[in-house]
Amino acid sequence: MKSVWSAMLLCISGMVVAQTPVYLDDTQPIEDRVEDALARMTLEEKVALCHAQSKFSSPGVPRLGLPENWMTDGPHGIRPEVAWDEWYQAGWTNDSCMAFPALTCLAATWNPDMALLYGKSIGEEARYRNKNVLLGPGVNIYRTPLNGRNFEYMGEDPYLASEMVVPYIEGVQACGVAACVKHFALNNQECDRHRVDVDLSDRALYEIYLPAFKAAVQRGKTWAIMGSYNLYKGQHCCHNQILLNRILRDEWGFDGVVVSDWGGVYNTREAAYNGLDMEFGTGTDGLSVSASDAYNHYYLAQPFLNEVKAGNIPESVLDGKVRNILRLMFRTTMNRNRPYGSFKNPAHAEAARQIAAEGIVLLQNRDRVLPIRLDKTRKILVVGENAIKMMTVGGGSSSLKARYEISPLDGLRARVGDAAEVIYARGYVGNTDGSYNGVVSKVDLSESRSADELLDEAVSLARDADYVIFVGGLNKNSRQDCEGKDRESYGLPYNQDRVIEALARVNRRTVVVLVSGNSVAMPWADRVPAIVEGWYCGSEAGNALASVLVGDVNPSGKLPFTMCERLEDYHAHALNDPLVYPGVGYKQFYKDDIFVGYRWSDLQKSNKPLFCFGHGLSYTTFEYSRVTLDRKQMTAADTLRVRVTVKNTGRRAGAEVVQLYVSDAESSLPRPLKELKGFEKVMLQPGESREVEFLLDCTSLSYFDDTKHEWVAEPGRFEVLVGASSGDIRSKAGFELR
Ligand code: BGC
C-alpha cells in the first residue's frame, strides 16, 4: 500500500514543523484509507474511538485530524441538542426540527417512494445539524399492541418492513449520514426491556424478526446497527455472540458499526469479543457522580485498554472495531463529497405533509359520511384532547422540539376557513402534562371542569352540528405510546369510549379519528359511521388530517398491522401464558412462533380482526381483474410473472395498494395460510386501468428450516392471492414448484 504519510517533518528555515497528516485521498478505496489511518493510531487512540465522550458523541482522533462522531435520535426528526453529560436541553435556539410522521404512518403509506423521501429529508436535517449517525429507523415487529414503542416501528409484517426500510436508509445515507437501524433484535416490548431474556424458534427468528434487519444490511447497506437492551438466549443483545457475530457479521456480511443502545452494555469481555463496536449511554459510578473521567469507566474504555495492554484481549480484536468505526467515518465525516444538507427547508414540510396524508388510513366509512361536504355544512364540532395536544413532545427518545406542530383542530380550522364554523369541546381530560426532557408543550391543557360537565358540553354541542369529529386515541405519555413501559390495557384510556358512545347517540355523522401508533379496542365501532387511523403525523399532522377529512386528498393508507377486536385475539395474548408475554422471572418464550399478526388471525374461525392487515378504504372504488400467471409450473431457477389489472371504477382519482400474498398448499411444516410477498401502489384516474406485474422467485416461496438452518422452497402446489387487504382477496391462481 502506498504510504502517504508525506507530511511528516518539514524543515522550514531551519525549524522542524510537525505537519497535518495527509491521508490517502478520497480517490483511493475506503479499505486502503482505513488501513492507512489505523496504522497511524496509538492503542489509546484506538480504544477512545470505541466509547462515548458525551451523551451523543464519541471522540475522533484529534492528533490525526479525524473528527468526532455525533449521533442523534431519530427516527422521526432530529433531536434537540442536550447538555454534554445530561438528558436535558442545551438551550440552543437553532435546533427546532421538522417533525416527520411516526414510522407506523410511513409504513401505512405502503409506498417505498415515501420512505425514500422521508430518509432524504431527515438525512438532510441530520447533515445540516452536523450529525453523522441517525439513530433510526426501527424495524422491530409488531407482536403485541401493548408494546409502548410500536409507533416507532413499521408494523407486523417482515416483507412490508423490509421494503420500507431499505429506501429510508438509502435516502439518509445519500446525505452522508449513517442510518443506525434499531433495535437488533427482539426488542418487541418495553416491559422489562433491560432484563427480559427472549427465546424463540430459529424459524420465528429468521422468518419474522430478522428479515427487515437483513434487508437493511444487505439491500439498504446500512452503515450502522444498534443492539437492543433485552437478552437473547441468555446474553445481552449488545454483545450477543449469535446475533452479532454469527448472524450479522458472518451470515449477512455486515461491515458497518454496531452501536450499543444507551446503557445496554454490561461486560468488557463480551463487548470485546461479541461484535459491539461503540458503547454509549452506560451509567457508571463515575457518571452518576459526574466525575470528569466518567466515560473512561465505560466497559469499552479503560477496562478494555487494560485488558488489551495486559495481553488478555488481542489487539486484533480492538483493530476489528476500529476498522468498522473508521469505515463509518470515511463514509460520513471524512467524505468530502457529501452534500451539505438543509434545515428549515419548506421542502421538508411538504414531505412531512405528503407522507402523513398518504399514511392516514380510512378504516370505516359507512354511508359515505366522509369526505365532509363543505358546501352542505354549517357547523363542525371537534371533540377530544388529541385535537389540541402536541404529540411531537413525549414518547421517549423520539421526542422532538419541532419548529411547529399543526394540531388537528388548527388544521381543520385553517382548511375549512369561512366555509363553515368549526367549534371545539374538550370532551374528556387525559394527560395534561405536555413536556419532555425540558421541551415544554406550548398548549395549556389544564382543565377544571368535571368529566360529566365536559361530556355534557360536548353532547349538547353535538346535537346541533353537521359533523362531529372526535379526535382521541392514545398519546405519548408513559404507559401509552411511549418508550420504557408497555400499555396496561387494550382499551382507550380516560373513558373515551363513553364520550364516543354518547356523541354517536346524538349525531349520526360522528367520525372517530384515532391518534395513536397502536391498535385499540373499539367497542363502539358499529355505532359510528366513520373511523380514521390518524397516527402521530408530526409537524404537518393537522394539515394532513384535514386534507383527508374534507377530501382534498383521497385516502390511500393501509394498515401495517392487524387491528383485533380484543387483546386476546393477538396470538401473544391468546395463549394467556405469562411466559409468552411479558415473561416470567425475566424469561420469555415466543410460543406464538411464526404466527404473528395476520398469520395468526387467518387461522381463526371466529374472532376475525376488526380491521385486517393491509386494510384501508378510499373515496373511490377499485376493481381487480383475474390474476394471471405466465406459467403453471416453475423450478427453483425460474421467475414467475404475476399480472393483474386494477381499474378505478369510481368518480375520483385515487391510489390503490395492490397486495400479493403467497400460500403454500402442501408443506411438511405448518405454514401461515398466506404471506405478503409483493405490493404496489398505483395511482389511477377515474375509469383508468393499469396492469400491475409482480415477479416471484423461489425466495418468495421458502420457509426457514430450523434443522437444516437454511431457507427451503418445498416442491408442491402454491397459490398466488391478490387483493386489497389480507382479508379482501380478489383473485387467486395456482401453480406448482417442481
Ligand atoms: C433508546 C434508543 C435511543 C437511545 C438514545 C435509548 O433509550 O432505546 O432508541 O436511540 O436511547 O436516545
Report how far ligand 1's centroid is from the alpha carbon of 73 (Å).
7
Nearest CA to ligand 1 atom 6: 262
Point out which residues pair with 588 in neighbouring strands. 198
Minimum mean pLDDT among 85-94, 172-181, 491-500, 564-573: which range?
85-94
| C-alpha closest to that of 151 among 115, 190, 104, 183 | 104
User: Is the C-beta atom of 397 inside 6 A of ligand 1?
Assistant: yes
Among protein residues, the one with the nearest Cα to ligand 1's atom 12 is 397
Q: What is the mean pLDDT of residues 675-679?
A: 98
Tens of pLDDT, residue by residue over 196-214, are 999 999 999 999 999 999 9
Give the model confidence (pLDDT) of 618-644 as tens digits: 999 999 999 999 999 999 999 999 999
Arithmetic mean of pLDDT, 727-736:
98
pLDDT digits (tens, 9 = 90+) for 429-438: 999 988 888 8
The Cα-based distances of 154 to 37, 130, 158, 608 in angstroms read 38, 27, 9, 22
The mean per-residue pLDDT over the stretch 724-734 comes to: 98
Whose CA is closest to atom 3 on ligand 1?
A: 397
Distance 200 CA to ligand 1 centre (A): 25
Ligand 1 mean position to 484 CA, how many Å? 10
- The pLDDT of residue 19 is above 50: no
Taken in order 737, 665, 725, 598, the sign of the CA dihedral is: negative
Nearest-atom number in ligand 1 for the CA of 152 is 9
Q: Tell me the C-alpha distance between 191 and 186, whole Å.
A: 13
Tell me the pLDDT band of 23, cut-offs 50, 70 and 90. Answer: low
Pairing of strands 622-624, 640-648: antiparallel
Examine the pLDDT at 29 and tell me if it is beyond 70: yes
Question: What would the grid cell of residue 410 be?
Answer: 388548527
Mean pLDDT of 172-190: 98
* Residue in 81, 42, 46 with CA at minimum distance from that of residue 60: 46
Q: Exposed (0-12), middle (13-18) or buried (19+): which is 375, by Cβ within 10 Å?
A: exposed
Average pLDDT over residues 453-457: 98
Contacts of 476 (CB under 8 A, 6+ apart): 391, 393, 394, 395, 396, 399, 436, 482, 536
pLDDT at 10: 37
Pocket test for ligand 1, best of 229, 260, 483 (most atoms within 8 A of CB): 483
Cα 299 to ligand 1 centroid, rounded to whole Å: 18
Instruction: Please identify, by atom number, the ligand 1 atom nearest to the C-alpha of residue 187.
Output: 8
pLDDT in tens, 461-498: 999 999 999 999 999 999 999 999 999 999 999 999 99
Helix, strand counts (H, E) of the chain: 18, 31
Percent of the chain scoring above 70 in pLDDT: 96
Q: Whose CA is nearest to atom 4 of ligand 1?
A: 262
What pLDDT sits at residue 303? 96
CA of 262 to the centre of ligand 1 (A): 6
User: Does the Cβ of 262 fall within 6 Å of ligand 1?
Assistant: yes
Task: Express as a percent the part of the chain with pLDDT over 90.
Answer: 92
Q: What amino acid positions are annotated as catalytic residues?
A: 261
Q: What is the mean pLDDT of residues 345-374?
A: 98
* Interval 273-310: pLDDT, tens: 999 999 999 986 544 445 567 899 999 999 999 999 99
Asked whether residue 22 carries a pLDDT value surpassing 60, the answer given is no
The mean pLDDT value for 109-134 works out to 98
pLDDT band, very low/low/confident/very high, at 579 (cuts 50, 70, 90): very high
Bridge partners (DSSP) of residue 703 are: 712
Assess contact for 544 and 532: CB atoms under 8 A. Answer: no
397 Cα nearest atom in ligand 1: 12
pLDDT, averaged across the chain = 95
- Cα–Cα distance between 396 and 301 in angstroms, integer? 27
C-beta 182 within 6 A of ligand 1 = yes
pTM here is 0.96
- 3-state SS of 110-157? CCHHHHHHHHHHHHHHHHHCCCCEEECCECCCCCCCCCCCHHHCCCCC
Which of the 8 DSSP states describes residue 261? P
**Angle at 96 (CA atoms; ends 91, 101), nearest 5 degrees:** 135
pLDDT at 9: 37
Q: Cell for 522?
A: 373499539
